[in-house]
Structure 1
């Protein structure tokens, strides 16, 4: 997808796939327990510094195809997103796409791997398509990616701490 260029280098096209990251942390709980926590989207506000009021659509739950809504905030702005679960493998992986599987804008993934008595939790973020609402320059999108990477690190730290104190 080449639709926008950096304001400083008009010859360099932007590609959505250039904007992604993965962060990981070890938590003191088995993968099945961690999966139950991260797939309960209504609980994300316990750990995420940016998401609140997340709820599944009526009758939906943590399964592929299900939809949920949540409020987000950044830099004094607030908005609501709609997301669709695209992978729900208990004890292994949980993935959703903001905007839905067909026309999504961002993919968030959680993967879980047993290690010792606990779990290595990976949280990944990938921009799926360019959209002016996220930024129009390479700098905008790099800043967004870096902000979201920091948010993911804070989420993983808070999750690990919450599990340790539970």
Structure 2
């Protein structure tokens, strides 16, 4: 598994709530901050762009500008990190009706543009596969915490505070 191959990971959970109730949380781009061990804060720049502030013990703190590339209420929210035409990562939530509930998935792909991970790979090219695998596992764990947290919030009937989908 090499960075240039665009490695991906995906998680899912079934939510005992309809897609509209799940979307109330997915559509609020700040929701993952509640559950991720990395993502600390998100703020909208305009209707389609936001800045995410993250931190990692081995990497430090950083900010990324993200662009929403798909927003279909009740079905999908997707964004890319960095240049929309050549992103360093792509992220997506999808919601699929399932009886009286919803299957919630979160997916991400690394690359194709360089990212913070590129520095570690360049420093230790002989360890690239291990570096990529570890980073994917960190993402997968944070994503699973996020979809599980959204499930709990949606099933509780709570509503997110404030505006959810940009300026």
Matching residue of 2:55: 73
Offset of residue 15 of structure 1: 4.9
Which among 116, 121, 141 is matched to residue 150 of structure 1? 141
Report the number of matched residues: 148
Answering whether residue 16 of structure 2 is matched by residue 28 of structure 1, we say: yes
TM-score (norm 1): 0.80
Q: Which has the higher relative contact order, 1 or 2, with Cα contacts under 8 A spaced 6 or more apart?
A: 2
| Conserved? CA contact 2:81–2:87, under 8 Å | yes
Matching residue of 1:103: 86
More helix per residue: 2
Secondary structure of the 2:86 match is coil
In the alignment, structure 2 segments of 5+ residues that lack a partner are: 122-127, 159-167
Q: Structure 1 stretch 90-99 or stretch 48-57: which is displaced more?
A: 48-57
Secondary structure of the 2:33 match is helix
CA offsets 1:48-83 (integer angstroms, 9 cap, x no match): 3321220111xx33xxxx100011122262211110
Matching residue of 1:8: none
**Aligned pairs (5 A) from 1:24-63:** 24-57=12-45, 60-61=46-47
| Conserved? CA contact 1:108–1:125, under 8 Å | yes
In the aligned structure 1, how far is the partner of 2:39 from the partner of 2:97? 27
Offset of residue 149 of structure 1: 0.5
Q: Please, what is the CA RMSD of the aligned residues?
A: 1.9
In the aligned structure 1, how far is the partner of 2:75 from the partner of 2:155? 20
In the alignment, structure 1 segments of 5+ residues that lack a partner are: 1-12
| CA gap 1:139/1:116 in 2 versus in 1, 3 angstroms | same
CA offsets 1:14-53 (integer angstroms, 9 cap, x no match): 3533510111001122112222321211333223332122
In the aligned structure 1, how far is the partner of 2:137 from the partner of 2:55? 16
TM-score (norm 2): 0.79
In the aligned structure 2, how far is the partner of 1:30 from the partner of 1:132? 36
